[in-house]
Structure 1
Amino acid sequence: MKKLIYVLIAGLLLSSCGVMNTRGSQYPKMYEEKPVTLLVMPPINNTTKVEAKELLYTSISRPLAEAGYYVISPLVAMDVFKSESAYDSEQFYDGKLDMFKNYFGVDAVVFSFIEKWSKVGVGINTEIRYVIKSAHTGEVLFAKSCSLFLDLSAKSSSDKSLLSSLLNVADTFLTTALTDHIVAARKANYYIFEDLPRGKYHPDHMEDYDVPVDSDNISRTVRR
């Protein structure tokens, strides 16, 4: 029944908007290999914000688990990475991944790239890219990026008095001070992984082939 609904929705979108990709057409190798267990590698940080790496790393596993995948505990994985001098994912991205398959018993490895992680005006500018590679073949199964601006400005008031303006500025400053970059990262993760084909432990597993998806590179502006 769910599959029929997805097909009908896809048909309506295709007829109204022209050709649109689906999870199956955009990420066919996810359906061919059917990965069950994922290993999340430490993010590759291409910014000057040193803290970005660990902050993003803590936010990746949950959306993957919610999508129906078994994710190796990031705490366990991190201990192994550090003990084996494997904390820098750059050295593994272009190489063979069978060592992770043999050690952790995983089917695929998740790489992430932090391209932007900065405070801009009254908001946070974040750009993150994810690539999921097969631990068996090294082929790319899934790739998508999101450039997201998190607007932290306080809601404007209809009262344009000086006092109201001052209070608005103070509220904006306080809100920004209490907001961590991780909020923006989590929102970017949501937009990226909402198009990920569902895994074995999700009720839509192998039933979501015709679900419409967005492009591989998306931009979003959202409020906190």
Structure 2
Amino acid sequence: MKKLFVLLTSLILLAGCAKQKVDSYDYTELKNSKPKSILVVMPTNSSVDAKADTSVLARTSYPLGELGYYVFPVALVDEIFKQNGLTDGNAIRSAKTNKIREIFGADAIFYVNIEEYGTSYKLIDSVTNVSLEGKLVDLKTGKTLWEGAGSFAQGSSNSNDGLLVMLVKAAVSQIMDTSKDKGYQIAAPATSNLVHLGKNGGLLIGPKHPDYNKTQVSK
């Protein structure tokens, strides 16, 4: 019995350690490249909401600028791509990075894919969720400098109501949130989580950040 107790205790401790251990992101390529300027381009859209790409595009520049990178004006960049026949995220991803660099002179390009976007009805709750994947690519070499994922979800709160009232409120909330495009609001914290947290480490600070070269993150 004592041996069994010791064995179970050891297994629990090992499981706890395994759960806590997360490999940190390898920033070697990013540190070698040292990008200063970034192109934010129309995302690819794997969600069912047709307006998701433009909504997320409008929200992506701010967190990158916050980190200290120069972000090219999104509307201007999108218009130039359209003039060159690249009208959506998939077309832009198919373009050669060195050609994009020739046109814009940027150091890197930020690709985003939208996994989920919008409001859905979940039994007694209406949930708005935005889930993203992002990748920063060196326009000179075509190498991936950093990649990560981020999401944010928000539900309606009906905990003090009866079941029938909660069901009605959830249905109404879904209709209202969809018509108002609540996903656009949720896209802001989702893009922030993508850039600042990533999967196992957010994007490092850029040269315009006040702490750059002072406390350059040693991740």
The offset of 1:179, in angstroms, is: 5.9
Which of the residues 100, 114, 126 maps onto 2:130?
126
Which of the residues 208, 217, 223 maps onto 2:216?
208
Q: Partners in 2 of 1:161 and 1:91 — Cα distance?
A: 49
State the SS of the aligned residue for 2:86.
coil
**Matching residue's letter, 2:30:** M
Aligned residues between the structures: 188
Q: Partners in 1 of 2:66 and 2:96 — Cα distance?
A: 28
The offset of 1:148, in angstroms, is: 3.3
Structure 2 unmatched ranges of 5 or more: 1-19, 197-201
**1:126–1:98 Cα change, 3 Å:** same
Residue of structure 1 equivalent to 2:194: 192
After TM superposition, the score normalised by the length of structure 2 is 0.74
The offset of 1:96, in angstroms, is: 2.8
Residue of structure 2 equivalent to 1:82: 82
Q: Partners in 2 of 1:49 and 1:35 — Cα distance?
A: 32
**1:89–1:204 Cα change, 3 Å:** same
**Matching residue's letter, 1:118:** G
Residue of structure 1 equivalent to 2:139: 135
Structure 1 unmatched ranges of 5 or more: 1-16, 212-224
User: After superposition, what is the alpha-carbon deviation per residue over 1:71-118, rounded to whole angstroms, capped at 9, x for unaligned?
Assistant: 000111111011111223323435531122121110000101011113
State the SS of the aligned residue for 2:153.
strand
After TM superposition, the score normalised by the length of structure 1 is 0.72
Q: Partners in 2 of 1:133 and 1:63 — Cα distance?
A: 17
Larger Rg: 2
Q: Is the 8 A contact 2:38 2:110 kept in 1?
A: yes
RMSD between superposed Cα atoms in Å: 2.9
The offset of 1:126, in angstroms, is: 2.2
**Matching residue's letter, 2:143:** E
Within 5 Å, give how 1:104-115 maps onto structure 2: 104-115=104-115
Q: In terms of mean alpha carbon deviation, does 37-46 or 115-124 score higher?
A: 115-124
Residue of structure 1 equivalent to 2:8: none
Q: Partners in 1 of 2:48 and 2:169 — Cα distance?
A: 29
